[in-house]
A = this chain, B = another copy of it.
Amino acid sequence: MFIQIEPTSDIPIYTQLANQIIELIARGQLKGGDTLPSVRALASDLSVNMHTVNKSYHELEHKGIIRIVPKSGAIINPIVQEGITNENSRRIIEQLKPIIAEAIVLGMSPEVIQEQTTSILITLKGE
């Protein structure tokens, strides 16, 4: 697991960690059925507190990305193949909207926004 935490970032550590795990799954470097390190092991690895890692894992579980088996470990769910749910789709769009609005106001043209989106998709999935 190649994870890098910046303790001084304005993004909370547990969010940084959750985001990076999501990115690893999107890239296919973590697959459905793979197990995540124990909260203690990963915490020690990243030099952060056990509870901080635990909070990340529960955020991922709440989003439906992993499942936590008590007293056992955390397992990555397979990437959903049947298409995204309406609820999740709505959430994603609500998150994208303000960022795209900001991009427009800062002078990024719709064409460039599309290009950058494509670029990110290629980076993540190779498509």
| Copies of this chain per assembly | 2
A106 within 8 A of B: yes
Partner of A97, one of B23, B104, B114, B127: B23
Partner of A107, one of B23, B80, B103, B124: B80
Whether A114 lies near B116 (C-beta < 8 A) is no
Q: Is the interface of A mostly helix, strand, loop or mixed?
A: helix
Asked whether A106 and B120 contact (CB < 8 A) given A22-B101, A98-B23, the answer is no
Whether A106 lies near B84 (C-beta < 8 A) is yes
Partner of A22, one of B23, B98, B109, B118: B98
Report the 6 A-B pairs with minimum CB-CB distance, sorted nearest first: A80-B107, A26-B101, A19-B98, A84-B108, A26-B104, A84-B107
